[in-house]
Structure 1
């Protein structure tokens, strides 16, 4: 039996494994902060030896800030320990400090806290992924990790590529059944990708049965179902295998791979050394939000820190485990609870958030038999509200009385008939929205009359929160509130790419990308951004002056395209935004703030994608269109808050966890049922393992188990929703739609259900009940509880809102900046040093390699008379594409298909595909031939038998970015340094001197910045390499050593590689203990890739080895 003791922060032992159950609002973060304080004072632990782990970046920041504030507060309080206080937090800290002062002395306590504050930047407070990455990186040898593995935030592109590869292979088998199912839409790549989420979200998931029969039995429906299951089984195996291979080949990791890599390392024969290394780093570990762990995470913490020499605190609340869709597994918490001694289980019983009567209401609803379905595994323990809780300090008063704290609105059928006596879901949702809108408008009207208050202040729109379970339900409320002049905001309730603004912006960008395409131009003109309608479009063609007006739009779009090519997306976007007065047009609409926020959010994402991926126009448009196909959510893609003033908040229950609001509405908790609707949801637990059943002989039994677990999660979601409220919470209930075993049904009808088939028993009970029976059951549950109220929702017309207007000064006077900004200090680069009188922008810091070729920008896809790779497009976009290919290509060239797939994808991403398939195939082949030539060319006769194809992954680094300090640099200083530089052969010293003399730039000090394309090592020497796509002519002769030397001189690449050499020299000096320039530095390669041919020695290949003396002299300038 689970027995929990009430936690006493002063006496809880600081040893062994301890489980702390922290119900909603009971001060979990405060508890962690003070356990942390006690560890600092009582265990002599250094701050970097106390590990705190939580699950999101936001939670990590919050807990870090809270611990820091608590330490600062404790330090200030040491000198006033006897000062009386009525604040509970202050009292607890005083008691901890008094005990430590008595045990260790005041001087020790002061020094310990002061040391922790000073060294707080070294604190080990991480997300779970950050902790695993740190553990792997710091113990890469013991964990068997590759060096310099790239961490990616999104693996969907890889999954999509593998899925389509699997799909092509299945089609190539020419299976008639497969083709038929694909044609009918019962099988598709998108359905397989959705299935992949289930497979990958739970890394220890076992799919049953292990094998499915291949034979068909003559029953069409059964045969098709069996065939689909077989395909899914094959796909799951193929996906896991290929995903592992692709990541290892490209030396990349997804966030969840960090967890699995550490988990597997701890399970391997390397475990003793690895655990020893990690354990010595930490004396104590506090795992926050433990209910959101999964079996992998639990096993990591249990293996590392459940020892007699460590302190381990697992802090969480199984009642709030609601993130199953992203891998959280409440059964990990349950297992930990079972394995923890009863003497080490604690619970927090005091709520600091809500009014006393609201907490009594929550106790009433959830106490009793099996409230969270999983019987004794998740118990409900009564809690009480502290008299000084936030809700009690500021109670809700309406018309002089404290209203019921939990309101249940019973939804009845609008026009009951003998055949249909309960409302359908659409009716119920519509009635719920109307009820919420009316109630909020009613309270705000009373507030404006001084009759509705929270504490001593009027109720404001920002005091209300509407919690939904689906993103689509959030938008139901926007228009009704705006019509009433009530401000409302959506908080993280959707994907920005699913918005109307995304769809309309896509139309605009397609028109700008093809200004000669009238269909696309027309589609753009009728967006809300531009504001034309169908009548306007017809007028352009029919009225005499109309076509002239139409031509102006086309000219504008053509100008925007040119601007996009020259200065990038964001400059074009700002110009379009200004010239079409888009801001003003959107803000004139009822939901204008929301729409403008979405548009600006989209522009930021597009700009970021362009910069990070070096997309051209077509490539960026393709990227944008591709995002519309993603059903998964990325944190960056969440809808942003359009305003943060006094507005009603509409938010999903999942995003609301950890937040609190005075008045909460939960209008749709009856929407989701526990009955399993398709096999992809058939995930269940059995004897410590997790399974996905796609057709076992026990499927009916497993459906009931999975349904039971689903109902438990729905109850937990309901608990989280209700406990967000400080003062009042509204729920809707009733006999709604077809019985589906929702959380509201179970809350009031759970008595007497059979435990072994609890979901089917509940559905059977609902079916047997009339609407009146259900109403009476609810009435009986809340009988004699004045803080719980059952009523019918009001259907009166809502009331228009007239907010208070505050008196503000007539004029605000802006402050004048009267200080001097030092323009000498800053960040510079090779490209900025040679920019001369050109406009200096941030782009010049990032695109050194493309400065020379911009004037040769060629229209993508146009015909060129030259042959082979000489005909490949020129300019920045083409250069970016080739660089990107070299960054990802396998130098060994073993997998030709993989290389060709990479080339195809990159040409598409960068908009470099030709108009027809034949020309496009030819272009892909020329790129392949060029890559092959470059990788197999002998780079230097002094390096025997060497080509890039002989390098393994561990021998090189891509895109080595650097910053190093420089003292004051002027053109004169630079010229003086180069007056002593010994040029490579083939260089004309007079021309070089003139080039250096021609450099002009403002004096600068600060940092030199750059990015080296490739650094590799061969036989103990390190080389830097730069790819150049400059077009010097249409034959290999044009890329002779003489000609590329002229190009090196013309564009002052000599200065570039000397800057890079200084950077690499500094880097190697810090990484190699016995580093010597002459011994370890091999030289510089600049590869003009258009002209490299393995059969023509040195063609297109520039090499130099700057002298040690000059590099040292140049380094001294840099400081």
Structure 2
């Protein structure tokens, strides 16, 4: 179905010359993938700065550049900056390799060169103030700067998150409309929308599409409710008396046997229907049975051939049923329309009451202000401020956005004539590619682009691909040139592009004799069994994984090169539609020991971690709710087995301990915030280690941390736990994509890239695999809401008609074609395109192909369900023959003959003889050593997975006293209990108190800590005196520093760190320690992953940063024996020296990231190891051990931790 509004024949497109493009009026620049769109924008920007082609030069503040994401604005700003820098170099006399810049230089009169240099220099200095915005950022700036002209309240605030307002608006509407409904109508609404959240999910796309026209126009819900109730009551009253007459009438008709049963048997199915109506009339509280109403409705009555439907006068009850069925069918559409209107008004009222603007409000407000202020000249004020506007990614514009720029620059008025605006040299440059319009799900409207295209007289295109090699360019040209309307709409034509002059320099060298850029791999099938989607997906993933493994194996052997360098894992991308497809690919790669990372625009709220974290939040927020606690324990985050949860129910001690643990977490949340509570939970329950033990561990850990950050950020805006949990619940329900909630990259290592096609837009990869585009969407169920376009207007088919469904499916197919175009234009050197004849079996139709519902099926000319493998292969061969050099067709074995899943799994093998730089390090690491979290204790005790908790390292080994003097039993610091319990107790008190207010804080915190660790209250005074004494013990020789002087602002308690480690071997660490005079003798398994730890105290003094660690070790029964020699012996015995060296490295990395002029010698103060039993104000330096590891040692340790597994083997 081609677009009936096309005017392709009247549109003339010129090749764009960046140097000579005229400014003034509206111009549309179509930039196919890889043709240098951003390069062109940067070049035009420099022209405007220099005044080339315009009456006078413009400044950065006068050139408006608009794009659609914050990331894109950052990239544009960076590319423009580099272009200006290049121009500046040329204009000061240096040679540059840029034809445009050289031409601009040559076109500048010598007398004007000094002024041009000044302009470029000023532009570089002011580029941070340049008008480069997202569309919402532009609207926000205009509304803020021109609040008076736009009639906006000056105190309006902006918020990105409107979920809280929508949450309340939906519930307000639900209460007002649904609670008063009669039982029968309420049942209908309840069946369709189980709760307000279900209604919100269905309406959210419509709330964001304010221009959508409901068709057909629904009845008013209130009136429909009255009519339906009246009709129901009349029917319920009339049926008992009219039943016999109706039955007699029906028996006199030649009823269809399939629907009503055989006439000879007295129409048994009819009898069941009538009995159902009897039951409803007598006992029913809801609506009559829907199937009965449908079967007995007058005009829907099925009769045998020759039968005649009675009139309404002859069959009044059947006519009544028909009217009832019609009213009931209108109920949900009418309710939805009423809900959209009612929720929108409540939504707007709540934001108005709080004087808040959301992103959508910014657009609506500015558009409304422009329309209302035509006499006051708001549009003129904006255009005078920004005489030239460049709109990037214009294909992603929606109607409201285009209306804003159209109003400002009068784009519609400039159709080839010299308008007033054109004379004034106002310019609107719209740059985009309709073939890459793939963001309909976030409001982009390709039909807006089509409208703008038809209304704009001057069209230009970029016709040279600078991304891909010539064969890849030829292959894409061949695929999309097969049909006259490859994107369904004739308003989106395909024009072949040329390869660049240096395209042949982009070479992939392989051992294979065939070097075709596009390899089309067709999966065979069994004729009788067909190929279901699950099987096809698995077989395709297996072949992708085997081929990737083969490529990387060849690279290890120097047989697969890009230029002169071996192919790397990160050079390969697998393009998928969603996380489900990504998981299939990642699983197949994991089987072959090939590491991969998943990049997506999906929301982090659409993850298992988000759903499980909600259960954990419930448990922490109400620690007395044991049902919530058991639900949290059952999550994979906390990892309790069914048996462990059963023990929780049976063992009172364990039950009480868990309840206390969550009660403490509740207090941490209240006192310190949600993020500290989650970090404490993670530490107590080994969440991080548990997640990382999973094959997808890095992905899951990244999501967990991301969610924690979002919760912490939102907690600063909301009041209390309940509000935060409500927000989190709403975010889970709505799952709306936003930049801050977008899934983050879990690793930046050398890994195969698994990328959604949406995320890949704008990116490029040397090799791409496109495995699943031939697997159709599931179109068996009508979508809700159902949206399509008619004459460029968005239609909401509120009754979900079959015609509307077909039109929406057609538009979905058109978007799939654009997605396929995006996917095929990502590879630079080679692409693997897979095709499988996905089939589906139904009783009605048998085995039918679904390929005709896919983009690749459409391009192959397969337009019906009757497609077998032979037909597919014939069409694929025909496609390949259009470009036989660039394309190669390969058949994969049939699933039933040589089952791909039964073939030997090819695994990536390491090779000791392979050159070091060639081996994909991450893949090899995954094969040799599992990724894990280690600790200091694990390094010194050869423990693979050591639980690290604050204070738990005090008694790592059984205590051996250095001094064993006799002492009486009088309570004192020397007779106080020893061991881990005492150490943890001492740590907790020092963590809880303010050192500068210890006298007061100890009275409050000592009893709490003593109760927790079972310390008898008789020790209270001894402990308080001991703490007050040690806090005033001098740490420095001159007495200038003591703990009691440290304010809360100067110290950081229990700083947790994770040090990434690529490949740590005991012998290399031993050698490094010996080199700098520290003890060696370490013996541990190779560690790859993270080294985790806690620093008891990190503090600042005189602009230096120190580490302090508390030790409760017993060295003797008098402070005098806690001198340096005895402490050094304990340090070496317990390997505390290694501990503070690692801590120093963690602090070194921390400060290096956060201090602009960081210097180890100046800013690292050193490490204090405080033996608490020996510290006293009356015994200076007793119990205080100090060391500062050499800078060279820390730097070499830093390098050692960053050393790759391959480096470690070769050195």
- 1:788 and 2:887 aligned: yes
Query: CA 1:526–1:188 in structure 2 vs 1: closer, same or farther (change >3 Å)?
Result: closer
Aligned residue runs from structure 1 range 402-801, under 5 A: 403-413=515-525, 415-417=526-528, 420=529, 422-492=530-600, 494-538=602-646, 548=653, 551-616=656-721, 619-673=723-777, 677-678=781-782, 680-695=784-799, 701-738=803-840, 745-747=854-856, 749=858, 765-783=863-881, 785-793=884-892, 795=900, 796-801=903-908
Q: Distance in 1 between matches of 2:37 and 2:768?
A: 22
Partner of 2:1080: none
Residue 124 of structure 1 is aligned with which of 122, 128, 131?
Answer: 131
Q: Which residue of 2 aligns with 1:758?
A: none
Partners in 2 of 1:459 and 1:359 — Cα distance?
21
In the alignment, which of 199, 205, 215 is matched to residue 198 of structure 1? 205
Give the direction of change, closer, same or farther, for the CA distance of 1:12–1:515 in structure 2 (3 Å limit).
Answer: closer
1:726 Cα shift?
A: 1.0
Instruction: Choose 520-529 or 467-476, whichever is displaced more.
Output: 520-529
Cα distance change of structure 1 residues 592 and 187 upon mapping to structure 2, 3 Å threshold? closer
Mapping of residues 918-1067 of structure 1, within 5 Å: none
Aligned to 2:492: 378
What residue number does 1:207 align with?
A: 214
Question: 2-side partners of 1:59 and 1:76: how far apart?
Answer: 26
Shift of 1:553: 4.0
TM-score (norm 2): 0.61
Separation in structure 2 between the aligned mates of residue 587 and residue 62 of structure 1, nearest angstrom: 33
Q: Answer whether contact 1:676 1:707 (CA < 8 A) is retained.
A: no
Give the deviation of 1:519 after TM superposition: 4.5
Paired residues of 1:594 and 1:642 also in contact (CA < 8 A): yes
8 Å Cα contact 1:748/1:781 also seen in 2: no
Aligned with residue 284 of structure 1, among 388, 391, 401: 388
TM-score (norm 1): 0.66
1:244-323 matched pairs, under 5 angstroms: 244-270=348-374, 272-305=376-409, 306=411, 307-308=421-422, 309=424, 310-323=426-439
Distance in 2 (alpha carbons) for counterparts of 1:660 and 1:627: 32
Look up the SS of the partner of 2:108 in the other structure. helix
Q: CA deviation at 1:684?
A: 2.7
- Helix, strand or coil: the match of 2:864? helix
Helix, strand or coil at the partner of 1:105: helix
By how many angstroms is 1:723 displaced? 0.7
Paired residues of 2:472 and 2:517 also in contact (CA < 8 A): yes
Contact 1:485–1:801 (Cα < 8 Å) also in 2 = yes
In 2, distance between residues paired with 1:574 and 1:187? 36
Aligned-residue offset at 1:400 = 5.6
**Equivalent-residue separation in structure 2 for 1:595 and 1:116 (angstroms):** 44
The structure with more radius of gyration: 2
CA distance in 2 between counterparts of 1:551 and 1:63 reads: 58
Are residues 1:218 and 2:316 paired? Answer: no
2:198 and 2:679 map into 1 onto residues whose CA distance is 39
Q: CA RMSD in A?
A: 3.4
Match of residue 26 from structure 1 = 35
Change (3 A) 1:218 1:631: farther
**Distance of 1:508 and 1:80 partners within structure 2:** 64
**Deviations along 1:786-810, whole A, 9 cap, x unmatched?**
322222336243322235788799x
Report the CA distance between 1:599 and its aligned residue.
Answer: 2.1
CA distance in 2 between counterparts of 1:637 and 1:797 reads: 40
Q: Secondary structure at the match of 1:285?
A: strand
Asked whether the equivalents of residues 389 and 428 of structure 2 are also in contact (C-alpha less than 8 Å), the reply is: yes
| 1:721, distance to aligned residue in structure 2 (A) | 1.1
| Deviation of 1:444 (Å) | 1.4
8 Å contact kept, 2:768–2:830: yes
1:619 shift after superposition: 4.8
SS of the aligned residue for 2:580 comes to helix
1:695 to 1:614, Cα distance in 2 relative to 1, 3 A: closer
Distance 2:179 2:688 in 1: 52
Q: Deviations over 1:54-94 (max 9, x none)?
A: 1110000100111011101110122446x4x7x5xx12221
Instruction: Give the drift of 1:747.
Output: 4.3
Question: What is the deviation of 1:704?
Answer: 4.2
> Tell me, what secondary structure is at the counterpart of 2:743?
coil
**Which SS does the other structure have where 2:35 is aligned?**
coil
| Counterpart residue number, 1:3 | 12
1:142 aligns to what SS in structure 2? coil
**Aligned equivalents of 1:290, 1:840: Cα separation in 2:** 60
Residue equivalent to 1:48: 61
The aligned counterpart of 2:273 is none
Corresponding residue for residue 350 of structure 1: 464
| Matched position secondary structure for 1:475 | helix
Matched, 1:136 2:250: no
- Asked whether the 8 Å contact 1:474–1:650 carries over to 2, the reply is yes
CA–CA separation in structure 2 for the residues paired with 1:266 and 1:224: 43
Q: Secondary structure at the match of 2:467?
A: coil
CA distance in 2: counterparts of 1:272 and 1:450, whole angstroms: 70
The CA deviation at 1:4 is 1.1
- Shifted more, 785-794 versus 21-30: the winner is 785-794
Q: Deviations over 1:397-436 (max 9, x none)?
A: 22165632222222333x432xx5x312222222222221
2:710 and 2:572 mapped to 1: Cα distance?
31
1:674 and 1:707 in contact (8 A); partners too: no
Encode CA deviations 1:159-202: one digit per residue, 9 max, x unaligned. Answer: 23222222222323323442221343466533432332232222
Name the CA distance, whole Å, in 2 between partners of 1:576 and 1:241. 42
Cα displacement (A) at 1:125: 0.8
Deviation of 1:730 after TM superposition, in Å, equals: 2.0
CA–CA separation in structure 2 for the residues paired with 1:534 and 1:798: 35
Q: Any unmatched runs of 5+ in structure 1? A: 753-761, 810-836, 842-850, 856-1001, 1006-1119
Which residue of structure 1 lines up, in the alignment, with residue 162 of structure 2?
155
Report the Cα distance in structure 1 between the residues aligned to 2:1101 and 2:347, rounded to whole angstroms.
51
- Indicate how the Cα distance of structure 1 residues 517 and 143 shifts in structure 2: closer, same or farther if over 3 A, else same: closer
